[in-house]
Structure 1
Amino acid sequence: MRTVVSALALLVAAGAAQAQIAGDKVRIGVMSDLSGVYESGAGMGSVEAVRMAVEEFGGKINGKPIEVLAGDHQNKPDTGVSIANRWYDVDKVDVIAELVNSAVAFAVLDVTKQKNKMVMLAGAGSADFTGKACAPGNSVHWVYDTYQLSASIAAAVPQLGKKWYFISADYAFGAALEAGLRPSLTKAGVEIVGAVKHPLSTQDFSSFVLQAQNSGADVIALNNGGDDTINGLKAIREFGLKAKVVGFGLDSPLSVKAMGLEVGQGAYNVSAWVNRDDAETKAWIAKFIERRKVFPGSFQVGVYSAVKHYLKAVEAANTTDTQKVIEKMRELPVRDIFTNDGYLRPDGRMVHSVALTQIKSPAESKGEWDLTKTVGLLKGDDVFRPIDQGGCPALK
């Protein structure tokens, strides 16, 4: 079993500030899929986004250097646990960010609670992280979750259609997303005419798509992510289905570009990042493209936001103590290029506005990365699960 662990240390001479920071360093571990199905939407782009957040602090907090480690969990929970244990016990990492895969994130969260450390979830999407599996003293859920995706899509039912078919990934994220969609869509008057599950990293979606075709669905929901969404959408186009497509993994600009607008055009997605297209955002995107040669996705911008907010809290609290930092993160509003209306709730959910987007046609696109358009904006309080409905045991 191969584990890729690399490290970047942004070291500067310590100043005179007497920071109460463990080990005289702030250590951030970025754990993601660096080599598999989710790499394009997270991966090394997320690592680079964290580095950019660190650089905005000059590589130090109150005179203490910030160190960034990167690890590849390979979408395997046991690999993620192994990295987490080493980071916490040997490398003295204060916080682990990103994770992208919900199954891995649950396993890493268990270790994190045992060590009284902290995780900041960006790409991992299960709503259980602020529900029955919540750990608000050790985790924050930053970018999106399956409840929010379901509520956002339910709000768009009038423009999508009333007969739906699900093609879902057969693991924690796909199951949670489908479980969240069913009641939300039913409440919106949708008839779910069929469903099928597929293994992670499926290459051939033909049998699943044929079943969707035979169902007579108006809308096909691809309840998966990464390359699975792309491969599913390609199969839908190859078979000439006329149904509208909602692809929850269409949030990676690199994947959409590689797939091509001819294939992707018209497909819908809920983007957790509302790109405001202002000067600050444009400058950040330009820097990211200069370094990575690709447009950033919402997970990458989201993990940048989470780490930046974490560092603001460490700076304000003058400590890396987990509980004190999380308390300060709740006190501070979240205002950056990811969101201008975010706030952190006691259950660990960061609430913020989201966008319903659609992939442009080739004729609509005006540039290399002009791939999607916003067709609706939704307030966070309207689409994230109300805190009193999550069932978070820590809040009882």
Structure 2
Amino acid sequence: MFADRVLSGMRPTGSLHLGHYHGVLKNWLTLQQKYECLFFVADWHALTTHYDAPEIIEQNTWNMVIDWLAAGVDPSQATLFIQSKVPAHAELYLLLSMITPLGWLERVPTYKDQQEKLTEKDLSTYGFLGYPLLQSADILIYRANLVPVGEDQAPHLEFTREISRRFNHIFGKEPGFEEKASQAIKKLGSKKSRLYRELRNRYQEHGDENALAEARSLLEEQQSLNTGDRERLFGYLEGGGRIILSEPETLLTKASKMPGLDGQKMSKSYGNTIGLREDADSVRKKIRTMPTDPARIRRSDPGDPAKCPVWQFHLLYSPDEVRDWVQQGCTTAGIGCLECKQPVIESILAEQAPILERARMYEEDPALMRNIVADGCEKANRLAEETMRDVREALGLSYL
């Protein structure tokens, strides 16, 4: 329906680590080459679980944006902004709450999961219950049609699609819709008008999905249509009303293969992380003190790489010849554990080097980073307002 637009965000709840780099940021670097991308700091979302520690959010926000830029997120290719600096997120969240059944929020899988995991926090709050709807508002406000998520977040996207469909069903039947759609068809020109009607008939009478796809492509190519007419013709095509909020599609991302220092998934909650911008001496110390195969009590004891957390790092960082050297040396006790760890240390430090170099510029002159964010917030506000004009009109709130 719209040009491909990607939206993704991260909560500013602490320093980023290499798990974030391999699990999220490297994917962002690929996406920014292919699509229009909007990446945002989800500071309101941070408050849903960290409302008792708001003092950490501002500094975490600026540090995280530096991490993004240092990792290679390019402000000339992607828009970087802060959620709370675009008030329309909250306005759409409020308006969507008027039509959102309570049961829809309670059945989101992560609602009960997070309550069970974060038992030290009181999460029996309206904000925590409603955070999936705020996520939906984040997406729908920009009419983002592609959202990169892992499998565990896929239910949130389905929830957003349901909200979009419900909103369009309730509010898309504007007065005089048929007449307005007919007038919009004429703006296509005689040849394309005939083609649009033919494709619409083929889809509605015979369920021809190819005709539907062809008609959508036809509408996407039309530069002469304004946003309202385009939305009407998409809705008219499928036999409904005006499509005000578009349904996003899931861009499933692969689970991060970044292991933690103890062999579990790298996570702050496990205390097993290496920071994205951690200093070299600290990285060396952490890797050198990593646990290894328990069978290797003495240097002369053979081991099994599959039972050693260090091997997981070799799978991520080392070329085949180094892995072969590790396999041979470990199983025959030909190398010691410190020798095995040295290539991992070198690879991680090499990966961090350009990140640290890019970060230095923003650390020394924070105004550079703040100006990037200010420009991003301005663009995000402009895009959000385009959607809100249509939303307010549909709800009868577009007062003079």
Fold match, TM over 0.5? Answer: no
TM-score after normalising by structure 1: 0.28
The structure carrying a bigger strand percent of its residues is 1
Higher relative contact order (CA 8 A, sep 6+): 2
> Whose radius of gyration is greater, 1 or 2?
2
TM-score after normalising by structure 2: 0.28
